[in-house]
Amino acid sequence: MSDVVLFDKLVCGNGKQIGVATLNSEKSLNALSGQMIDLLYPQLLEWQEDSNVALVILQGAGEKAFCAGGDIVNLYKAMSAYPNEYSPEVEKYFTEEYRLDYLIHTFNKPIMVWGNGIVMGGGLGMMVGASHRVVTESSRIAMPEISIGLYPDVGGTWFLNRMPSNCGLFLGLTGASINAADAKYTKLADYFVENSMKQSLIDKLLDVKWGDTNALNHEKLSMAIKEQEVLSIAKMPHSNVKGHQAMIDDVVEADDLSATVNNILSVEVDDKWFNRAQASLKNGSAVSAQIVFKQLHSTKTMTLADCFRMELGLSVKCGQYGEFVEGIRALLIDKDNQPKWKYSNVNEVPMKEIDWFFVSPWTADKHPLNNLN
């Protein structure tokens, strides 16, 4: 059996090294498994402390995906073993995933993520925290958790609230798929480079005179990527989100979820991108929609570490509640695409149930992520 993450070091002209980590599970579209996390986290820590390593590249094997999300099939098995109860396996997976995401966000060396192909859920959680986030002509990005009874986790609390007006709530509620131009517009990515230019970029990086000053190495990486972006920019697609910004502002009632849902669903327009967003919201979990709404409204001033701590509590409780396991069943286990959600619309969801999700299962000193700062 091949390793689920491949590690390599590229030696540059001046002797400095580039650490390369490749998610290596093409069959699953590089879905982020617990085993991958267990390998990535210590290796990143080691590279962060290694004075010979100037920067890190994180990529996915194959051409279809950087990472299509978390390994939710294994999460399904873990939740099914503890129906409507706390699952230690669920807690462990999300704890380790968020710890990895936080490390990427706070990594003190340049870290470039090559976000080619599908970048969803857990994949976006890794990409968005990197210092240099590259998307390509085939990038397809989404946080589609409303379709599986979850919510936009992996730091979604942080990055959805930092998008242009109302875009974060719209994307969180609809799980809409976005492209490379959208990713740049919504601050999920920094650079657009054609996928065919990847090796050319790496060759350039091998010739860079990397030093021991992280800030200067960040600048050198930025300059190298920008040179490739100039040659690629004509191939960047049109931004659906930017093109629909006025419509998004019209339909999103910032302080009223029911009105927002009704507004989105009542728009009559012949527009494939918007119509798909409407369908995802209409067929998604009403509980998830309520969680997303409270998640984004109650956390605007939270630190990144506190966002991850809150999300861990939310995710553990989603594993216990039953909506998440039902969503995975319908999508990936039985594949009937007919999830039996607990409530048919957001107005039916009791607020006391939503409030329960936001009560941490742990005291502050016992929180599994209490060492994030």
Q: Residue 20: enclosing H or E segment and its boundaries?
A: strand 17-23
How many residues are given for the chain? 373
Q: Which pLDDT band, with edges at 50, 70 and 90, does 226 fall under?
A: very high
Answer whether residue 96 shows pLDDT above 70.
yes
Write out pLDDT tens, residues 281-316. 999 999 999 999 999 999 999 999 999 999 999 999
Judged against a pLDDT cut of 60, whether residue 49 lies above it is answered with yes
Is residue 235 scored above 80 in pLDDT? yes
The pLDDT score that the predictor gives to residue 337 is 96
The whole-number pLDDT of residue 373 equals 86
pLDDT digits (tens, 9 = 90+) for 187-211: 999 999 999 999 999 999 999 999 9
Question: What pLDDT score was predicted for residue 6?
Answer: 98
Q: How confident is the model at residue 254 (pLDDT cuts 50, 70, 90)?
A: confident
What does the block give as tokens for 345? 């619309």
225 pLDDT band, cuts 50/70/90, is: very high
Residue partners of 147: CB distance under 8 A and separation at least 6: 175, 280, 283, 284, 285, 327, 331
User: pLDDT > 90: what percent of the chain?
Assistant: 99
* CA of residue 330 relative to chain centroid, distance: 22
Residue type, 238: H
pTM to 2 decimals? 0.97
Q: What is the mean pLDDT of residues 203-226?
A: 98
pLDDT at 18: 98
Residue 168: left (phi > 0), alpha (psi -120 to 50), or beta?
Answer: alpha
Both tokens assigned to 4: 């689920």
**Apex CA 164: angle with CA 253 and CA 68, to 5°?**
100
pLDDT at 273 exceeding the cut of 90: yes
Q: Tell me the per-residue pLDDT of 314-366, one tens digit each, with 9 for 90 and over.
A: 999 999 999 999 999 999 999 999 999 999 999 999 999 999 999 999 999 99
In the three-class reduction of DSSP (H, G, I as helix; E, B as strand; rest coil), residue 79 is classed as helix
Please tell me the number of Cα atoms within 13 Å of 101 on its side-chain side: 32
- Under the banding of pLDDT at 50, 70 and 90, the label for residue 25 is very high
Average pLDDT over every residue of 40-49: 98
Q: Which of 148, 147, 179, 182 is nearest to 168 (CA)?
A: 182
Annotated active-site positions, please?
70, 122, 145, 153
Contacts made by residues 72-79, CB under 8 angstroms, sequence distance 24+: 72/31, 72/148, 72/328, 72/332, 73/328, 73/332, 73/333, 74/33, 74/34, 75/319, 75/324, 75/328, 76/325, 76/328, 76/329, 76/332, 76/333, 78/319, 79/319, 79/324, 79/325, 79/328
**Ordered DSSP codes for 127-196:** HTTSSEEEE-TT-EEE--GGGGT--S-TTHHHHGGGSSTTHHHHHHHH---B-HHHHHHTTS-SEE--GG
Q: What fold does the segment set 5-366 form as a domain?
A: 2-enoyl-CoA Hydratase; Chain A, domain 1 (3.90.226)
Q: Which DSSP helix (H) or strand (E) runs through 112?
A: strand 111-115
Mean pLDDT in residue range 56-66? 98
Residues 289 and 146: beta-carbon distance below 8 Å? yes
160-181 tens-digit pLDDT:
999 999 999 999 999 999 999 9
Which residues are bridge partners to 258 per DSSP? none
Please state, in angstroms and as integers, the Cα–Cα distance from residue 130 to each residue in 27, 123, 147, 189, 227, following that order. Answer: 25, 12, 26, 9, 19
72, 33 Cβ separation under 8 angstroms: no
- Angle 70-195-28 (CA atoms, 0-180°, nearest 5)? 25
Where would I find the H helices in 14-146? 34-49, 72-81, 88-106, 122-127
Q: In the beta sheet, which residues pair with residue 20?
A: 8, 57
Domain boundaries, the chain: 5-366
Mean predicted confidence (pLDDT) in 100-120? 98
Which tokens hold the place of 180?
């490379």
